[in-house]
Structures are given as structure tokens and as C-alpha cells.
């Protein structure tokens, strides 16, 4: 639904150049909620403003619903009309609401319809339908100053939907709201995504936003996308910065001769007693150093940091057991991580096959004794 290819934006001022976007490739599938996350200055807002061509990209392409918007920019009156028409199918929700204080709530929602040349009767009908959709039917005649922050943002969302868009862009739409109101606005966006089949692209610096409603996510740093994928794919990617930020766990080894592992649970594995099974099967004392678990997309997902006695080469079989259960296992300690890589290469080459089986037998026998 939304694709950017090699998207670059360079701002020039007083002889200086600042690269806000540096070759951004992004693909948002139809009907998904996609989150772009990053710190201030990462290029998130420039990205979203280039997608709807509020900012003209310096180079690269933006395609929305199969139409190359960058090809329409600056190409004469006809292309200009086509670009305006294409923009009308892209709704935009702003951080600070951007409502007109002199207009009623209903009049604010009707504004895009006025620009599109709709009749007064049609504007009124559509605006009231949208206000009912966002839960503000009783506020149609109120003014923005009479509304709470959450209500103002709901008006902003209703206004963004006035043109029946296929895509909804949200630029830090919840950052000015309190936590409870944020949750209600995020739930509204998810409900609209499902009810209307909207594709939602949201910009945020809050990991909880991604965790709450996003199907996929991208991490931006210094104008580049450094990671992207579905939430499930990111959690299954060794060393993923996004996965670590979404489900942060801490804790260090209690001694040098210990193996510290980050174990990622998702899908059915999140509800299985895998750690207790490991402890019983191999008679191992396991220390839990940290854990984080939450529900994402209706599924329980989490990460746990555990400590096993002995170095990695002593724990090849237990680690194999965890991976056989469908878990993502990452070695935390750099020295042990190097040992793990060497050990796994040896196992894959067949050199350690007999040794691993012997280790398994010895552990089982020791546990029985």
C-alpha cells in the first residue's frame, strides 16, 4: 500500500545541508498498522511528510496504492490536480490536533469536504457519521476549547477520515496525551483499521505504542531505517535492537563460569513451562535474571534472561533443547557468544555429534542419580 524507494530529503539553509532522510526503503502492506519509531532527529516526521508530499523529497520515490506520487509533483496543472486527488485519499492526524478554534467540532470535520466541493447537506451528513464513529456525536456543536485533549484528537481523526482515505498517517498523535487517553486513542486507531480496512502508518518515539497496536515496525536512526519487519520477525532476529527495546531485560552473570542467555517466547511457546522442563530434564539450577512479557496482536510475547551454571561449551545440549521448543536463544556474554559460535560450527560439521549425545546421556544419568 505504501512503498518508498531510496527516499532522500536534504534541507538547505544558509549554505548548510542537513540530510533528514538518507535512502529510506519502506514497505507497508495493505490493511496493517505499521509503526516507525526512533529518537528525536531520526527523520521520522520528515518521512511521513514526504509520504504525503507535504515535503518534496530530494530524490527517491513514494508510491501509495500503486500510484507514484513523486511522479506527479511539479509536472504541470493536470499532474497537480492528480496529486491533490491522490492526497485526498491519505488522511493525516497531527500531534497538536491543528483544529480551528473559531469553528465548531462539526465544522472542523467538514473542512476537507468543503475543499473537495461537497454540498452543505452532504458535508453535514458525513461529519455527523464520522463523529459518531469516533464517539463524539454529542459534541458536534461544541468548540475545540471546550474539549479535552483526547476529544480534540478524536476530532482530528474524524477530520482525517472525511475524504474516505485508504491510508491514515499519524504523526506522534498520542505524545501530548496522558497514558489512559493514549490507550483509548490507540484502541480507536486499531478499531478503525479493522472496521474500515485502513492502512495505518504511525510515527512515534514510544515503544508502548508499537507494542500496543502495530503489526510491523521499523527503527530509524540518523535518517536511515536500520531494522524493519513484522513484530514476530523482529523478535526472532538475533541481536534485534527493536526486540530488545520492546521487551527490555537486564541482569549480569554472577560469575565468570556462567552462561547468560536471552530467551524469546512468542506464539504457543509463551504459555509453555519450558524453563521448568529444562531444569527437570537436565537437573540444572537456572537463575532468572530478568523477564518482560506482554500481549502483542492478541498473542503473548516475551523475553527472559536466564543464567546457566558452566560455560557455553558445557551447555550446548540445554541450549539445543530450548531451540527445539521453538524459542529464540541469544548468548549475552561476548566471550561465551564466541564460544557458542565455534561450538555450533563444530556441531554442524559433525565433529561434536558424539560428544553432544554423550553429554546428554551423562546429564540424564546424573539427574536420575
Question: To the nearest whole number, what is the mean pLDDT of the chain?
Answer: 85
d(CA 343, CA 60): 44
Domain shared by 71 and 145, yes or no? yes
Domain shared by 58 and 156, yes or no? yes
Domain shared by 219 and 259, yes or no? no
- Does residue 240 fall inside a structural domain? no
Pick 272 or 125 by higher pLDDT: 125
Read off the pTM.
Answer: 0.79
Domain shared by 344 and 206, yes or no? no
Q: Which residue matches cell numbers 537486564? A: 250
- Does residue 319 fall inside a structural domain? yes
pLDDT of 361 higher than 80:
no
pLDDT of 263 higher than 80:
yes
The band of 365, judged by pLDDT with boundaries at 50, 70 and 90, is very low
- Does residue 324 fall inside a structural domain? yes
Q: Looking at the DSSP assignment, which residues form a beta bridge with residue 17?
A: 12
Which range is least confidently modeled, 78-82, 203-207, 349-353? 349-353
Q: How far is CA 148 from CA 24, 132, 154, 181, in A?
A: 37, 17, 10, 10
Domain shared by 124 and 13, yes or no? yes
d(CA 240, CA 259): 20
Domain shared by 225 and 204, yes or no? yes
User: Which CATH number fits the domain that encloses residue 184?
Assistant: 3.40.50.300
| Domain with 347 in it | 247-368
d(CA 182, CA 195): 20
The band of 145, judged by pLDDT with boundaries at 50, 70 and 90, is very high
- Does residue 99 fall inside a structural domain? yes
Domain shared by 253 and 230, yes or no? no
Contacts of 125 (CB under 8 A, 6+ apart): none
User: Which CATH number fits the domain that encloses residue 354?
Assistant: 3.30.70.260
Domain shared by 134 and 255, yes or no? no
Specify the pLDDT at position 81. 75
Q: Which residue matches cell numbers 484528537? A: 153
Domain shared by 228 and 293, yes or no? no
Q: Which of 212, 235, 258 is the last residue of a domain?
A: 235
Domain shared by 165 and 281, yes or no? no
User: Alpha helices of the chain — where are they, by DSSP H?
Assistant: 44-51, 77-87, 105-115, 120-133, 149-160, 179-196, 207-213, 231-235, 241-246, 274-282, 316-324, 334-348, 353-368
- Does residue 160 fall inside a structural domain? yes
pLDDT of 337 higher than 60:
no
Specify the pLDDT at position 317. 93
Q: Which of 235, 255, 283 is the last residue of a domain?
A: 235
Which range is least confidently modeled, 17-21, 74-78, 233-237, 245-249? 74-78
pLDDT of 345 higher than 60:
no
Domain shared by 229 and 322, yes or no? no
Look at the chain and report how many structural domains it folds into.
2
- Does residue 242 fall inside a structural domain? no
Q: Which of 235, 266, 283 is the last residue of a domain?
A: 235
- Does residue 94 fall inside a structural domain? yes
- Does residue 29 fall inside a structural domain? yes
The band of 62, judged by pLDDT with boundaries at 50, 70 and 90, is very high
Nearest to 152 by CA among 204, 235, 93, 205: 93
Helix, strand or coil for residue 49?
helix
Domain shared by 97 and 161, yes or no? yes
pLDDT of 19 higher than 80:
yes
Which range is least confidently modeled, 13-22, 82-91, 293-302, 311-320? 293-302
pLDDT of 157 higher than 90:
yes
Amino acid at each position: 500500500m505504501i512503498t518508498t524507494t531510496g527516499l532522500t530529503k536534504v534541507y538547505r539553509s544558509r549554505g548548510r545541508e542537513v540530510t533528514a532522510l538518507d535512502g529510506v526503503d519502506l514497505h507497508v502492506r495493505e490493511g496493517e498498522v505499521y509503526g516507525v519509531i526512533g529518537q528525536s532527529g531520526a527523520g521520522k516526521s520528515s518521512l511521513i511528510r514526504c509520504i504525503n508530499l507535504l515535503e518534496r523529497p530530494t530524490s527517491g520515490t513514494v508510491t501509495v496504492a500503486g500510484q507514484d506520487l513523486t511522479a506527479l509533483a511539479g509536472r504541470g496543472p493536470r499532474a497537480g490536480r492528480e496529486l491533490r486527488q491522490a492526497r485526498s485519499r491519505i488522511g493525516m492526524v497531527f500531534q497538536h490536533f491543528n483544529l480551528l478554534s473559531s469553528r465548531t467540532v462539526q465544522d472542523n470535520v467538514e473542512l476537507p469536504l468543503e475543499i473537495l466541493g461537497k454540498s452543505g447537506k452532504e458535508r453535514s451528513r458525513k461529519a455527523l457519521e464520522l463523529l459518531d464513529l469516533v464517539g463524539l456525536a454529542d459534541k458536534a456543536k461544541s468548540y475545540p476549547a471546550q474539549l479535552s485533549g483526547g476529544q480534540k484528537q478524536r476530532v482530528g481523526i474524524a477530520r482525517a477520515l472525511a475524504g474516505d482515505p485508504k491510508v491514515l498517517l499519524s504523526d506522534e498523535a498520542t505524545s501530548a496525551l496522558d497514558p489512559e487517553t493514549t490507550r483509548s486513542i490507540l484502541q480507536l486507531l486499531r478499531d478503525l483499521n479493522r472496521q474500515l480496512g485502513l492502512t495505518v502508518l504511525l510515527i512515534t518515539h514510544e515503544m508502548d505504542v508499537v507494542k500496543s497496536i502495530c503489526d510491523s515496525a521499523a527503527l530509524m536512526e540518523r535518517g536511515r531505517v536500520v531494522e524493519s519487519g513484522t513484530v514476530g520477525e523482529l523478535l526472532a532476529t538475533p541481536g534485534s535492537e527493536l526486540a530488545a527495546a520492546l521487551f527490555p531485560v537486564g541482569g549480569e552473570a554472577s560469575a565468570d563460569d556462567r552462561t547468560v542467555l536471552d530467551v524469546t517466547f512468542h506464539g504457543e511457546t509463551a504459555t509453555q513451562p519450558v524453563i521448568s522442563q529444562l531444569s527437570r530434564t537436565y537437573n540444572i539450577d537456572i537463575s532468572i535474571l530478568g523477564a518482560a512479557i506482554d500481549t502483542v496482536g492478541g498473542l503473548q510475547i516475551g523475553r527472559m534472561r536466564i543464567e546457566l551454571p558452566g560455560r557455553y561449551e558445557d551447555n550446548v545440549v540445554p541450549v539445543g533443547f530450548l531451540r527445539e521448543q521453538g524459542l529464540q536463544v541469544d548468548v549475552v556474554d561476548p566471550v561465551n557468544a564466541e564460544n557458542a559460535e565455534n561450538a555450533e560450527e563444530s556441531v554442524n560439521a559433525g565433529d561434536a555429534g558424539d560428544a553432544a549425545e554423550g553429554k546428554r546421556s551423562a546429564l540424564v544419568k546424573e539427574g536420575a542419580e
